[in-house]
Amino acid sequence: MKIFSNFESGNIRIVKAEQPDDIRLQINKDNQSEFYQWFYFRLETQAQVEHNFALLDLAKSAYPEGWKDYDVVASYDREEWFRVPAQFDGDTLRFQVMPEQCSMYFAYFAPYSCDRHQDLLHQAQMNYNCTLETLGSTLDCNDISLLTIGEPADSKKKIWIIGRQHPGETMASWFMEGLLQRLLDETDTVGRALLDEAVFYIVPNMNPDGSIRGHLRTNAAGINLNREWQSPSLEQSPEVFLVRERMLRTGVDLFLDIHGDEAIPYNFVAGCEGIPSYDERHARLENNFKQALLTITPEFQDDYGYDKDAPGQANLSMATAWVGEQFHCLAFTVEMPFKDHNLQPDAFYGWSPERSLAFGQDVLAAIRPVMAQLR
Ligand code: ZN
């Protein structure tokens, strides 16, 4: 029996793995950081034998409540990712598997590879009004890639959508893939209608270093990018620095920041109610967008989510708050679950790449009803 994590995004540490009935593992911290929660490893073993796993020391993980009612994601072919039931006692996550094949992958959520990310970028650029551009390099010398979609014109709204500030939240990449598919589909009138009135600036992966390293939350230097928006630097957060510079040049009329939430088993959005400039117009815009999304899909709800910030209490170092304040525009953090969307639960797959992709398409469609009000 062997356990591997020697691949892109891999993360596990073996404590004990001599007998299938007693496999003990730990998750490595993000580099220069205390955060840990993302895991991804491969088991090579004898099929049709029961294996007992214990994932240890989770009380000190980034989101201990994330393990409650969480089922492990697994795959034999790296295409279909299904759930393996797990039990959490407050510190240890236990799960039992009888592998059908000799090699089996386990992860916190369905991984999204760098190759697939490059395919996404380059298939997008084949569209006649999509341009792929590298804004600069990360600390590990990976690309910060921007897609500009639509013909720029002063009269058009500027819509910015970014994902994967937190690299362990891979559902954000699946969401981006769905959103781009719909926006670029020339037979889909939704995308065409949006592009008549807006230019889209899309950064599908804000944190390629963390993605490759198998981090949960930080970049190569252990920096949480979603706390860098007030004063980013090329030395520690070039990802935010470069994207922010471009935003200041283009302007922003709508901003979406795509994430996954470890603990809350629902899709939801978090808005700007705590920023200093929040007013009735901003509140009405937020409400109209949420109403549109509620109408479009049962995969969205607005009853469960984060506690709302008190007036003036927003953390302006976070992307959504900084952009909303800087540009006086509609800005949302979009959160998807690691577990499931409990209004439409799926015991076999839970929240999945396919549902993230479809949700990306639906969120795109919800922009159209508010487009005229954005500026
Ligand atoms: Zn996040």
User: Residue 355 is encoded by which pair of tokens?
Assistant: 């549902």
* 313-338 burial code (b ≥16 CB/10 A, e <16): ebebbbbbbbbbbbbbbbbbbbbbbb
Place of tokens 């959490």: 88
Distance CA 325, CA 242 (A): 19
Q: Are 362 and 296 in contact (CB under 8 A)?
A: yes
Whole-number Å distance, alpha carbon 151 to ligand 1 midpoint, is 31
Distance CA 147, CA 134 (A): 9
Residue 128: is its pLDDT beyond 90? no
User: Residue 343 is encoded by which pair of tokens?
Assistant: 């209004």
Q: Are 211 and 176 in contact (CB under 8 A)?
A: no
Average pLDDT, rounded, for the chain: 98
Helix, strand, coil tally for the chain in percent (to 5) = 30, 25, 45
Distance CA 23, CA 88 (A): 16
- Which of these, 131, 126, 56, 39, lies nearest to 90 by C-alpha position? 56
CA 113 to the chain's CA centroid? 13
Whole-number Å distance, alpha carbon 314 to ligand 1 midpoint, is 16
**298 conformational bin, left if phi > 0, alpha if psi -120 to 50, beta if neither:** alpha
257 φ, ψ (degrees, to nearest 5) = -120, 115
Same fold, 2-107 and 114-373: no
Residue 305: is its pLDDT beyond 90? yes
Whole-number Å distance, alpha carbon 161 to ligand 1 midpoint, is 14
Q: Measured at the alpha carbon of residue 40, what is the angle toward residues 336 and 37, in degrees to the nearest 5?
A: 55
Distance CA 300, CA 343 (A): 9
Whole-number Å distance, alpha carbon 149 to ligand 1 midpoint, is 25
Whole-number Å distance, alpha carbon 273 to ligand 1 midpoint, is 19
pLDDT in tens, 223-244: 999 999 999 999 999 999 999 9
Whole-number Å distance, alpha carbon 169 to ligand 1 midpoint, is 6
Distance CA 159, CA 138 (A): 24
Distance CA 157, CA 197 (A): 6
Residue 315: is its pLDDT beyond 90? yes
- Which of these, 182, 183, 117, lies nearest to 145 by C-alpha position? 117
Residue 47: is its pLDDT beyond 90? yes
User: Residue 336 is encoded by which pair of tokens?
Assistant: 């998807």
For a pLDDT cut of 90, what percent of the chain falls above it? 99
- Superfamily grouping for domain 114-373: Zn peptidases (3.40.630.10)
pLDDT at 105: 98
Whole-number Å distance, alpha carbon 226 to ligand 1 midpoint, is 8
Whole-number Å distance, alpha carbon 222 to ligand 1 midpoint, is 15
Whole-number Å distance, alpha carbon 210 to ligand 1 midpoint, is 13
Mean pLDDT value of segment 209-223: 98
What 3-state class would DSSP assign to 285? Answer: helix
pTM of this structure: 0.98
Active-site annotation holder among 18, 235, 335, 354 = 335
User: Where do the structural domains in the chain lie, given as residue ranges?
Assistant: 2-107, 114-373
Residue 42: is its pLDDT beyond 90? yes
pLDDT at 220: 98
CATH classification code of 2-107: 2.60.40.3120
Whole-number Å distance, alpha carbon 18 to ligand 1 midpoint, is 36
Q: Are 25 and 54 in contact (CB under 8 A)?
A: yes
pLDDT at 26: 98
pLDDT in tens, 70-89: 999 999 999 999 999 999 99
Whole-number Å distance, alpha carbon 211 to ligand 1 midpoint, is 13
Q: Are 95 and 107 in contact (CB under 8 A)?
A: no
Mean pLDDT value of segment 247-259: 98
Burial of 255 by CB count in 10 Å (0-12 exposed, 13-18 middle, 19+ buried)?
Answer: buried
Residue 282: pLDDT band with limits 50, 70, 90: very high
Is residue 273 annotated as part of the catalytic site, yes or no?
Answer: no
Whole-number Å distance, alpha carbon 259 to ligand 1 midpoint, is 4
Mean pLDDT value of segment 191-208: 97
Of the two residues 249 and 152, the one the predictor is more confident about is: 249
User: Residue 46 is encoded by which pair of tokens?
Assistant: 């004898």
